[in-house]
Amino acid sequence: MALGAGLAAGSLTLMAFGLDSAIELSSAGVLIWRLNVDLRHGQGFSERAERTASRIGAVLLFTLAAYIVAGAVWSLWTRHGEAFSLPGLIVALLAMPIMTLLARRKIAIATQLGSRAMRADAAESITCGWLSLVVVVGLLADLVLGAWWVDAVTSLVIIGFVVKEARSLER
């Protein structure tokens, strides 16, 4: 839904939010695979699966960061920003508290398990929460101020977090 609303509105952050949702689903699939390995094959296999799952999480975060940077640069270069999207605003407003709660639970579980793969999945949820906030700010700035550039600039704000999380998972 967010991808469709983002395409219709021409919103970089709304499309990034939708892409992040797809990446989050991929990350959850990797985490399920990793936990399945642990249940089926025991500790020796699960350590290898943990490293693999963590690295996949890093690649997914780097992919999202690259998309956001490329999209923001393109948007600023072409001087084209988003148009207001009520469905996008609603989805983003709903996602903020949901992703925050989900990320907190995942971090607590990752800490208890000592799982970098679970931490990677939590980072995806945190990123989704931040992107939700950025979408809301960008949409409202466009609606109220006509500030087309806010979408691109606000999306760049979270790049540092995304790259930091991805780098921490590479090790």
pLDDT of residue 6: 65
Distance of CA 78 to the CA centre of its chain: 25
Are the beta carbons of 17 and 9 closer than 8 angstroms? no
Sign of torsion, CA 69 98 33 15? negative
Tens-place pLDDT, residues 79-114? 876 667 788 889 889 989 998 999 999 899 888 888
Tens-place pLDDT, residues 7-38? 666 666 667 767 777 777 787 788 788 778 77
pLDDT: which is higher, 101 or 116 = 101
* CA atoms of 65 and 55, how far apart (whole Å): 15
The token duo for 23 is 């990446």
Look at the pTM and tell me if it is higher than 0.75: no
Q: Residue ranges of the domains in the chain?
A: 2-170
* CA atoms of 150 and 126, how far apart (whole Å): 21
User: Residues 22, 1, 72, 168: what is their CA dihedral angle, to the nearest 10 degrees?
Assistant: -30
2-170 adopts what CATH topology?
Alpha-lytic protease prodomain-like (1.20.1510)
Tens-place pLDDT, residues 118-132? 888 888 888 888 888
